[in-house]
Structure formats: structure tokens, C-alpha cells
Amino acid sequence: MIRNGVAIDDGFAEAFPMKGTRLLVTAHNAEWARHAAVAATGFATSVIACGCEAAIERELAADETPDGRPGISLLIFSMSGKELAKQIERRVGQCVLTCPTTAVYAGIAEGEAMPLGRNLRFFGDGWQASKVIAGQRYWRVPVMDGEFVAQESCYVVKGVGGGNLLLLCTDVDAALAASEAAVAAMRRVPNVIMPFPGGVVRSGSKVGSKYASLSASTNDAFCPSLRGLVANSELTPEVRCVMEIVIDGLAEADVGAAMRAGMEAGIERGAAKGLLRISAGNYGGKLGPFHFHLRKLLGEAAS
């Protein structure tokens, strides 16, 4: 399949089940909401070493938040509910509670209940107070700029992690431009995040390593500097830079929609602007049950 000069692999991205939640962080103004959101989603690119994968989903206008203030929607994913609970408490406690004027609320209305303000309230040292509004309990914790408001619980649902695209390009400039266009298109799709810096990862990995202590190592088949040195290289001489985009979503359909949007954005740029091929990472179907076939996604869009 060739679209605007871009070859689309007859392959699939392999993704796996995760647990996910949405948090809504509000503040006195959008700048302080963003400060808290950026801090809370820091060091959250991959569950391999970070414990969770998290990023900003989108900005929220005042009429979209529970308290009528500007806000940010965050999505956080982990491999288990236990680990996700730990990450929520630590990140909200250290990065949202500490940030001037913020409050935090659940962004999903149903699912498995998980502590949000329920444990953070103890920072109030006995001065904390609660109020039930429309069946939901909120905690008010006294702090030096007034009070920190947190919904007692957030709600966790089954999610999908590890959807991905590999963009094979002529050079770094072309690869960055294609990646940026794809990520911008994906961010317009609801219920998904791209957790790596700027939504892009240059250190794509494969499962396993020659070193026993590592569970993952460099994806040598897509490393331009190793073409001609490894037997399984996927690259032709024209490909001198590869970028990967990893997608996590609240549902399988969300991840598929984001991948389709990213591919379409890349195809629109075309081979004339340096994008030669779109591929995806999989491990023969052994890693996860969700398989996003690239050509099928584009075919669904056409139909």
C-alpha cells in the first residue's frame, strides 16, 4: 500500500491491557493548572522504569470543570490497580497538593473506586473537613493559600497501552516534522495520550537483551547506524532516521482512532517531505491481545 508516496507496512502494532484513570486539575488560572499538571505527569514515559505512563490529555475551559475554574485533564495508566493507586497518591500529593491554588477531581464517573483525597486529607492534621455534594464526598484540606479541595475517590477503568507507529524518514528534520504533525493530530483524539517527551520516542525498544539484567533493549532492526551490521535490519539506505510514537488510551477504539489520525497526518506530508514508510512494533502477537493493523485502520477510514 502506497499513499502519497509513503509505504504502509502490512503489519500491526501490538498493545496490552492496562489500568487507567483521568484526573481533572483546576487552579486559579490556566498557568498554575498547567504547572501542577506538568509536574504530576513528569517521569511517566514508560512502565518499564517509571511505574506508570501519564501525560496531559487536554486543557479545560472553566465551564468544563467541577469548580468553574480553568483546568487540565490528565490520563494516568499502569499495569495494575495497586501500582496505579500508589502513583496517583504520590503524584497528586507531591505535585498537585503542593501547587498554589489547585484542586483535583475525578475525570471518570464510574469504575473501580480508588483513593484520591481519601488519604491526602490526613495532611490536614485533623483540621480537614468533608462535604457530600450530589452523592460525592470532597475533602477540604487547610493550606497556606486557603484550602486544597480533592474529591475523595477517582475511578479506574480497563485501558490499552502500547499502541505505536514507526515513522521511517530520510533525515532528522523530516522525522521530527512528521512526528510533530502526527502527534498534533493524535492530540485532537479524545481519551488518549502519547506519554513520551513531546509525544515521541527515539529509543524504541525490543523485548529482551543480551544482558540478563535488562528486560528491554534498543530496537536494532530500526537503528540506522546498525544497518549492514545486524542481519534483521528493516532499513534501506534512504532511511536515516526513525521516530516512534506510543499511544495509551481508555479503550481499544480510542487507540485505533489516534493511530489512524497520526498516519493520515504523516501521509498528508508525504514522501516529498521525507516520510518514506510507516511501520509498527509487534512481537509476533505474544506481548498483548490488541493488534492494530495499519492497513486495516486506513481502510476503515476510507470506508
- State the average pLDDT over residues 81-98: 98
d(CA 204, CA 218): 6
Instruction: Say if residue 26 is in the same domain as residue 101.
Output: yes
Nearest to 153 by CA among 126, 187, 125, 117: 117
Instruction: Say if residue 259 is in the same domain as residue 164.
Output: yes
Instruction: Say if residue 260 is in the same domain as residue 187.
Output: yes
257: containing domain: 2-15+159-302
CATH number at residue 217: 3.30.70.520
User: Which among 134, 157, 180 is the end of a domain?
Assistant: 157
Least confident span in 5-19, 145-159, 177-191, 202-216: 202-216
Q: Which three cell numbers stand for residue 12?
A: 500491526
Confidence (pLDDT) at 301: 59
Confidence (pLDDT) at 284: 81
Confidence (pLDDT) at 303: 43
Concatenate the DSSP letters of all residues of 267-289 into one string: HHH-GGGTEEEEE----TT-S-S
- State the average pLDDT over residues 102-118: 97
Confidence (pLDDT) at 180: 98
User: Which among 100, 129, 157 is the end of a domain?
Assistant: 157
User: In this structure, are residues 165 and 244 in contact, taking their beta carbons and an 8 Å threshold?
Assistant: yes
Residue-wise pLDDT for 1-57, tens only, equals: 999 999 999 999 999 999 999 999 999 999 999 999 999 999 999 999 999 999 999
Nearest to 144 by CA among 100, 96, 91, 92: 100
Sole residue written with cell 502494532 = 13
pTM of the entire structure?
Answer: 0.94
Instruction: Say if residue 81 is in the same domain as residue 152.
Output: yes
pLDDT-based confidence at residue 194 (cuts at 50, 70, 90): very high
How many domains are there within the chain?
2
Confidence (pLDDT) at 285: 81
Instruction: Say if residue 44 is in the same domain as residue 23.
Output: yes
Instruction: Say if residue 147 is in the same domain as residue 163.
Output: no
Instruction: Say if residue 255 is in the same domain as residue 179.
Output: yes
Long-range contacts of 141-146 (CB under 8 A, 24+ apart): 141/97, 141/117, 143/97, 145/100, 145/101, 146/101
Instruction: Say if residue 101 is in the same domain as residue 23.
Output: yes
Nearest to 126 by CA among 113, 107, 139: 139
Residue-wise pLDDT for 261-277, tens only, equals: 999 999 999 999 999 99
Confidence (pLDDT) at 300: 66
Instruction: Say if residue 274 is in the same domain as residue 166.
Output: yes
Instruction: Say if residue 166 is in the same domain as residue 109.
Output: no
Residue-wise pLDDT for 221-234, tens only, equals: 999 999 999 999 99
Instruction: Say if residue 98 is in the same domain as residue 165.
Output: no
Q: What percent of the chain has pLDDT over 90?
A: 95
DSSP H helices, the chain, are 30-40, 81-95, 117-120, 172-186, 252-269, 294-302
Residue-wise pLDDT for 76-88, tens only, equals: 999 999 999 999 9
d(CA 286, CA 12): 12
